[in-house]
Amino acid sequence: MLQGSGVGIAAVVGFPFGASHVDAKAREAALAVADGATEIDMVLDIGRLKDGQREPVRADIASVIVAAAGRPVKVILECARLTDDEKRTGCALAVDVGAAFVKTSTGYLGHGATVHDVTLIRAAVGPDLGVKASGGILYYEDAVAMLEAGATRLGMSHTQQVLDSIPS
């Protein structure tokens, strides 16, 4: 139905915990691309990141980027479950292997985006990588705060509420 409309289709792999086997995530990404996905959102392996296992997390992200066959990959950190140092490490790994975005959360585990997390991510990834603030954006002021903190995209499930809160 969307073919030719210019509307992109994102698919999520490794949802919701990122604990899928690296080969399973890569296969999910390849299947999503074959089915027409134009972007891939992947939940990085939260447990391995928390355990300080940098190389397996790097390989996990890299495998999805390869399987995405040139489509943008957004690496979801799930900030509510990570320390600031773990968030910085996740960002560094995402940048290192060529992710297109780092995203704050799935919206499934804990709070959504915070200004603190968006600011931290923006500082960690630099000015060129995309930052997606996802979840917890309920009002116009929230959206503006996320953009001012460095987000380049917003993920919202309450879009109409945000639009209705725009000051006249």
Q: Is 159 exposed, middle or buried (0-12, 13-18, 19+ CB in 10 A)?
A: exposed
Is 16 among the domain residues? yes
Question: What integer pLDDT is reported at residue 109 of this predicted model?
Answer: 73
25 is catalytic: no
Q: What is the CATH number of the domain that holds 42?
A: 3.20.20.70
Secondary structure (3-state) at 164: helix
Is 4 among the domain residues? no
Cα–Cα distance for residue pair 81/58, rounded to 1 Å:
19
Helix count (H) and strand count (E) of the chain? 7, 6
Question: What integer pLDDT is reported at residue 12 of this predicted model?
Answer: 95
Q: Which one from 60, 103, 117, 142 is the annotated catalytic residue?
A: 103
Cα–Cα distance for residue pair 12/42, rounded to 1 Å:
6
Q: Which of 137, 86, 148, 144 is nearest to 114 (CA)?
A: 137
**Mean pLDDT in each 10-residue stretch from start to end of the chain (168 residues)?**
86 92 96 96 95 97 97 96 97 98 86 93 97 94 97 93 93
Question: What integer pLDDT is reported at residue 4 of this predicted model?
Answer: 86
Is 23 among the domain residues? yes
Q: Which of 115, 110, 96, 108 is nearest to 154 (CA)?
A: 115
Q: Which one from 41, 45, 60, 142 is the annotated catalytic residue?
A: 41
Is 20 among the domain residues? yes
Is 5 among the domain residues? no
Question: What integer pLDDT is reported at residue 19 of this predicted model?
Answer: 92
Cα–Cα distance for residue pair 89/157, rounded to 1 Å:
28
Q: Apex CA 85: angle with CA 83 and CA 90, to 5°? A: 95
The structural domain count of the chain equals 1
Is 2 among the domain residues? no
- Distances, alpha carbon 133 to alpha carbons 36, 116, 119, in Å: 24, 11, 10
Q: Which one from 87, 117, 132, 142 is the annotated catalytic residue?
A: 132
Is 81 among the domain residues? yes
Which residues constitute the domain of residue 94?
10-164
Q: Count of CB atoms within 10 A of residue 90's CB?
A: 27
Is 1 among the domain residues? no
